[in-house]
Amino acid sequence: MIMAVFIHDTNIISPLGFSTDDNFQKILSGKSAIEQVFIDDKIGSVYAGKINEDLFNNHFQTINDDFKGSRIVKLLIAALSPIVEKNPLKNDSVLILSTTKGNIAALANNDLNAAFIDQLAKNINSYFGFKTEPIVVSNACTSGVVALSLAKRFIEMEQFTNAYVVAVDELTPFVVSGFQSFQAMSNEPCKPYDADRSGVNLGEAAVAVFVSNENRTESIQILGDANINDANHISGPSRTGEGLFLSIEKALNEAQITSDQIDYISAHGTATLFNDEMEAVAFNRLNLQNVPTNSLKGYFGHTLGASGLLETVITIESLKNNVLIPSFGYQQQGTTQQINIITKKGQKTLKTALKTASGFGGSNSAMILVKNVDHVRN
């Protein structure tokens, strides 16, 4: 018998706020973090989501007023601290870190050791006093969902009692210049799935969740998950959505449900021409085209390795509150195959959600989340 795995407490540090509730309430009010942000003299300004430095420093002082570590370490500490406070570590607790670039900013100071992602994970592991070695997931923009999948599978195999999954990426000149080289950046706030979309906005965030086999009243069960790489291209998605199609199909099979039992989809939705089209194709192949769907990139920007976990947390809040969140920036259909993009906030009884993510190198992920009311597999 497969052990059930649940997501419990969550926390978000983002430009919209420094808790899950702050972020969710801002989204419900229609607030977006996307604005013009100055990067450096060479790049200039771009539309992106950037955490206010003064506000964050004031917030961090309430957690630790004398810590002198790097900014990215502070972001992770701020995200994880309230989770650890509510869920004290056990001897077999494990830290799983999701990130795309980690402390890439350290390279500007020629601090090569600090730039290694495993060193970032070790720093956080040491700060909180984990007894086990940390695990790093860096699988492009699917990293956050993959990290949750990994936590689920380790707990199912009884390798660990629980897992603390944290995700982070910063808005840095290195990251911005990389996306500019792909000509993927929008010169205005992004519009996922819209006919007038012109590219992605970037963002930054740190997110933490606590995962265990304990069945609590307010918990969300991870009912199924899958991660498929279709190896289509170094950066371009499969035109048939093959990897995403297979990921969703496998996740549905593990969850032992069918597509008509999905109440809501939190999709990847980068607002690039090919990603949004690929997702529409994959959803239609699985008869999911009528399920209410949104992208959260218009609120936060694309937070890279943090995006999958960040958007999963907002999906959990949508499930708990039975609310559909509009896909910010969407006005008219921009994909060749119809999908049901949410255009206004609304109440709907929600039990089961699908979270998807896709990334460079052909990586694709899908996760089925269900409220702890039915469908619960023991």
As given in the structure block, the two tokens for residue 52 are 């206010």
Q: State the average pLDDT over residues 187-215.
A: 96
CA–CA separation, 116 and 284 (whole Å): 40
Domain shared by 230 and 343, yes or no: yes
Domain shared by 266 and 198, yes or no: no
Domain shared by 237 and 332, yes or no: yes
Domain shared by 181 and 268, yes or no: no
DSSP state of 210: E
pLDDT at 324 over 80: yes
* 22 within a domain of the structure (yes/no): yes
pLDDT at 175 over 50: yes
* Helix or strand run (H / E) with residue 340: none
Average pLDDT, the chain: 94
Write down which residue in 190, 212, 234 finishes a domain.
212
* 37 within a domain of the structure (yes/no): yes
Domain shared by 92 and 46, yes or no: yes
Q: In sequence order, what E strands does the chain have?
A: 6-13, 34-40, 44-49, 94-98, 135-137, 162-169, 202-203, 205-212, 220-229, 264-266, 293-294, 323-324, 346-347, 352-359, 363-371
CA–CA separation, 144 and 207 (whole Å): 9
> Which residue in the block uniquely carries the two structure tokens 């100071």?
109
Q: State the average pLDDT over residues 185-211.
A: 97
Q: What is the pLDDT of residues 259-298, one digit of tens each?
A: 999 999 999 999 999 899 999 999 999 999 999 999 999 9
Q: What is the pLDDT of residues 47-93, one digit of tens each?
A: 999 999 999 999 999 999 999 999 999 999 999 999 999 999 999 99
Q: Give the list of residues 6+ apart from residue 291 with CB closer than 8 angstroms, or none.
A: 259, 262, 263, 264, 265, 283, 340, 354
pLDDT recorded at residue 205: 98
Domain shared by 232 and 347, yes or no: yes
> Which residue in the block uniquely carries the two structure tokens 């947390």?
313
* 377 within a domain of the structure (yes/no): no
Domain shared by 183 and 313, yes or no: no
* 376 within a domain of the structure (yes/no): no
Q: In the beta sheet, which residues pair with residue 184? A: none
Percent of the chain with pLDDT over 70: 96
Whether the CB-CB separation of 82 and 206 falls below 8 Å is answered with no
pLDDT band at 3 (very low <50, low <70, confident <90, very high): confident
Domain shared by 208 and 297, yes or no: no
Among 27, 78, 20, 85, residue whose Cα is nearest residue 53: 78
Domain shared by 180 and 228, yes or no: no
> Which residue in the block uniquely carries the two structure tokens 């199909």?
249
Domain shared by 243 and 185, yes or no: no
CATH code assigned at 182 = 3.40.47.10
Whether the CB-CB separation of 200 and 271 falls below 8 Å is answered with yes
Query: Which of 96-110, 215-229, 235-249 is least confident?
Result: 235-249
pLDDT band at 306 (very low <50, low <70, confident <90, very high): very high
pLDDT band at 169 (very low <50, low <70, confident <90, very high): very high
Q: State the average pLDDT over residues 11-17.
A: 98
pLDDT band at 236 (very low <50, low <70, confident <90, very high): low
CA–CA separation, 354 and 259 (whole Å): 10
Q: How many CA atoms lie within 13 A of 131 on its CB side?
A: 9
Distance of CA 48 to the CA centre of its chain: 16
pLDDT band at 376 (very low <50, low <70, confident <90, very high): very low
Tally of structural domains, the chain: 2
Write down which residue in 196, 212, 228 finishes a domain.
212
Q: Give the list of residues 6+ apart from residue 120 with CB closer than 8 angstroms, or none.
A: 72, 73, 76, 97, 99, 102, 103, 114
Write down which residue in 158, 183, 212 finishes a domain.
212
pLDDT recorded at residue 178: 85
Threshold 0.75, pTM exceeds: yes
Residue 303 sits in which domain range? 220-371
Whether the CB-CB separation of 357 and 167 falls below 8 Å is answered with no
pLDDT at 15 over 90: yes
Domain shared by 153 and 274, yes or no: no
- Rounded to 5°, the CA angle 282-285-289 comes to 80
pLDDT band at 235 (very low <50, low <70, confident <90, very high): low
pLDDT band at 375 (very low <50, low <70, confident <90, very high): very low
Domain shared by 267 and 166, yes or no: no
Q: State the average pLDDT over residues 356-378.
A: 78
* 196 within a domain of the structure (yes/no): yes
Q: What is the pLDDT of residues 107-159, one digit of tens each?
A: 888 888 888 999 999 999 999 999 999 999 998 889 999 999 999 999 999 99
